[in-house]
Amino acid sequence: MFKEEIKKTKLGADIPLIYHFAMLQDEQRMLNFKDAIDSSVPVGGKVLELGGGTGVMSYYAAQKASKVYCVEQIPENVKAARKFLSSNPNGDRVEVVQANAFEYLPPEPVDVVICEMIHVGMLREKQIEMMESFKRRYRARFGDRLPHFIPEGFIQAVQALEYDFNFFGYNAPVPLFQIPGDKTRKSNELSDPVVFQTAQYKDSLPNSISWNGTFKITEDGNLNSVRVILKNLLTAIPSENRGIFWHNQYLILPLYNPLSVRAGEEVELSFSYIMGCEIEDLLDSMTLNTKFAPNHFSKPEQTLAGYLSR
């Protein structure tokens, strides 16, 4: 029941317009994308944005580009993007195309492609599938030289956590998002983050991931959750020896059977999932074992999926 309810709350292709407006307020996201776009788009260049939303990224690109193709499939978003662009400087350089970005290609080669269909864990949205589809079709039409991609790549990590799931007296261990750096809820980090994936969009990307790794516990505590971290490299600027990054909100996944751990112990985590799948598909596949303590997670009903299907 609970699991089904989570599944129904689809993201990705149907983010309501009101959430797009909220994204405009996210300073960390907007300023870093603006900086990356400004640093990467050549003066007079051609740009393609896949999934344009309100058109804001295309607008940033249009300050340097001579032409921006902004593809968006939701009619309400297309209408909003056209309206906003018409009242912003150089908005006339952006052509908002209502189309499915899995099928659309620009009429000419482009210098830069912007694509932000990104969810923490690379879950729920179709970023990987979209980029693979785009590269295949673009190469077939325009040859091997690919445009510069924003973002360029990403790194994903997991971290052992003790998280406070008590909400003003009400205990509810549920999947949650957490703004990086937000200290309003008590969460103790019980290990360093452990990297489980790095990728660059210009390379061939896997459509699934299978991982088995170890947390080295750094603090005594109650291991009751795992934090999933996604850090996007929006663009590298080698001449300035720096990169521009954007962190998605962290995803906190509760564990059914919290584990009492001590500094120095090792805990093994494994999972496998298809990119773009639902949160609970990742949960379904997740198993946790301590190396130096009784196996708390050996029974199938004690997996995270077991917890969520209750």
Ligand X SMILES: C[S@@+](CC[C@H](N)C(=O)[O-])C[C@H]1O[C@@H](n2cnc3c(N)ncnc32)[C@H](O)[C@@H]1O
Using CB under 6 A as the binding rule, whether residue 32 contacts ligand X is answered as no
- For the CB of residue 204, give the shortest distance to ligand X in the complex, in Å: 21
- Cβ atoms of 160 and 267 within 8 Å: the answer is yes
User: Which of 70/288 has CB closer to ligand X?
Assistant: 70
- For the CB of residue 114, give the shortest distance to ligand X in the complex, in Å: 7
- For the CB of residue 200, give the shortest distance to ligand X in the complex, in Å: 20
Q: Of 4, 13, 242, 301, which lies in the binding site for ligand X, with binding defined by CB under 6 A?
A: 13
CA dihedral sign of residues 116, 122, 126, 127: positive
Q: Give the CB-nearest residue to ligand X.
A: 51
Here the contacts of 36-40 (C-beta below 8 Å, separation 24 or greater) are 36/150, 36/151, 36/234, 36/235, 36/244, 37/61, 37/112, 37/114, 37/150, 38/63, 38/64, 39/235, 39/237, 39/244, 40/112, 40/148, 40/150, 40/235
Of residues 110-149, those binding ligand X (CB under 6 A): 116-117
Neighbours of 100 (CB within 10 A): 10
Q: Of 36, 41, 53, 158, which lies in the binding site for ligand X, with binding defined by CB under 6 A?
A: 53
Of residues 82-101, those binding ligand X (CB under 6 A): 100-101
Pairwise CA distance, residues 79 & 74, whole Å: 9
Using CB under 6 A as the binding rule, whether residue 57 contacts ligand X is answered as yes
Which amino acid belongs to residue 182? Answer: D
Q: Of 40, 45, 72, 265, which lies in the binding site for ligand X, with binding defined by CB under 6 A?
A: 72
- Cβ atoms of 99 and 87 within 8 Å: the answer is no
User: Which of 74/234 has CB closer to ligand X?
Assistant: 74
Q: Of 77, 159, 285, 290, which lies in the binding site for ligand X, with binding defined by CB under 6 A?
A: 77
| 3 state SS of 59 | helix
Using CB under 6 A as the binding rule, whether residue 232 contacts ligand X is answered as no
> Would you tell me which residues interact with ligand X (CB under 6 A)?
12-13, 15, 20, 23, 51-54, 56-57, 71-74, 77, 100-102, 116-117
